[in-house]
Amino acid sequence: MIDTHCHLDFPEFDPDRDEVIRRAKEAGIDFIINAGSSLQNSISSVELARRYENVYAAVGIHPHDADTFDKNTLDAIIELAKKDKVVALGEIGLDYFKNFSKKENQLPAFVSLIKVAKDIGLPLIIHSREAKADTLRILKEAMPVSAVVHCFSGDEEFLKSCLDLGFFVSFTCNLTYKKAQNLRDLVKQAPLDRLMLETDAPYLSPEGQRGRRNEPANVRLLAELVAEIRGVSLDDIARATTDNAKKFFRLEG
């Protein structure tokens, strides 16, 4: 299995990063994609991929950080995106839920970063929260692009629009939450050949571990739940989501 989105470079993992990566391996998580969320985190993401054989990096600027996005940041991201083991641009997108950065800064940052990915030939990891219409509009204008909508949330209509554009959708451990019946319905509807799994660790710990740090090993628990919801075997889910991620991120092995 593959954890297609987490933040192992975050300080939460400073005390025991080696252990966390070892536990993931033991749980059958073969590869980990570490997402970039700021320039500093993107630098750390590349560094992490250099240090750990089974870790790959994405580089990007989270919409929360769009207010400080400038030409220097853009140039630095372009250089990072060309580094070894960088397999995607992300996470990038729009977040009108928290609005930590102004909408008028989020939009042009998103557009510029999509262009970087297209120029270099990398797929996108999209963060979209309470911003469905603008996310779809910008991505449609940028087509053709290859994208995964991470931590998928929303409704059937958004799911359909994403699938129609050829995108992948990725689900996190928030699928285990009691109130997340809508997500469990959506994960059932997504075609098996468009599905990926992720933890978004250290965030979104599964039910029963809430308040604690999440980690990539929990992809196994997530895969088990998805298998149960869809009425198929764990093997089927593991194989399909792994194949999807390998193709999407062009991982060897």
Question: Which residues lie near Ni ion (CB under 5 A)?
Answer: 200
Q: Which is nearer to Ni ion, 62 or 194 (CB)?
A: 62
Q: Which is nearer to Ni ion, 95 or 200 (CB)?
A: 200
Per residue, the 3-state secondary structure of the chain, as one string, reads CEEEEECCCCHHHCCCHHHHHHHHHHCCCCEEEECCCCHHHHHHHHHHHHHCCCEEEEECCCHHHHHHCCHHHHHHHHHHHCCCCEEEEEEEEEECCCCCCCHHHHHHHHHHHHHHHHHHCCCEEEEEECCHHHHHHHHHHHCCCCEEECCCCCCHHHHHHHHHCCCEEEECHHHHCCCCHHHHHHHHHCCHHHEEECCCCCCCCCCCCCCCCCCHHHHHHHHHHHHHHHCCCHHHHHHHHHHHHHHHHCCCC
Q: Which is nearer to Ni ion, 8 or 138 (CB)?
A: 8
Using CB atoms, what's the residue nearest to Ni ion?
200
Nearest distance in Å: CB 236, Ni ion: 26
Q: Which is nearer to Ni ion, 200 or 215 (CB)?
A: 200
Nearest distance in Å: CB 93, Ni ion: 10
Nearest distance in Å: CB 23, Ni ion: 20
Nearest distance in Å: CB 233, Ni ion: 29
Nearest distance in Å: CB 10, Ni ion: 10
Q: Which is nearer to Ni ion, 204 or 240 (CB)?
A: 204
